[in-house]
Amino acid sequence: MRALVVDDSKTVRMIIGRTLRELGYEVEDAVDGQDALDRLNERPGYFEVALLDWNMPQMNGMEVLKRVRADERHRALVILMVTTETEVEHMAEALEAGANEYVMKPFTKDILIEKLELTRMHF
């Protein structure tokens, strides 16, 4: 299993990456939305899951989500929005745009594992 962790915070990327590696994932990082989109487009189908922050420079997570979902090459990619955006409207917007799950910061390791388990049916 390969995961792309997309967050402008190095600390958050490290925390998520550590948990994913413990679960057996190979993990790569992207520092912002444009970096994520570039990595996904360079190797369509390579990653099974992307954990995507909403608020980032260059290109925010919602824009990445919309672009990825508009591209058939990434149809099978499972996307978890991992964000401080806690309003129900934001969650609904992300899910309507194609996010598979929504994780609110701060989160625990158990919450992240639970959300990943909920998406397993997509793999």
Domain locations in the chain?
A: 2-122
Residue 18 one-letter amino acid? R
- C-alpha 99/C-alpha 80 separation (Å) is 6
Per residue in 58-115, pLDDT tens?
899 999 999 999 999 999 999 999 988 778 888 899 999 999 999 998 888 899 999 9
Name the pTM for this structure. Answer: 0.93
Q: What is the dihedral of CA 97, 78, 112, 93, to 10 degrees?
A: 0
CATH code for the part of the protein at 2-122: 3.40.50.2300
C-alpha angle with apex 93: 87 to 117, nearest 5 degrees? 85
Per residue in 26-48, pLDDT tens?
999 999 999 999 999 999 999 99
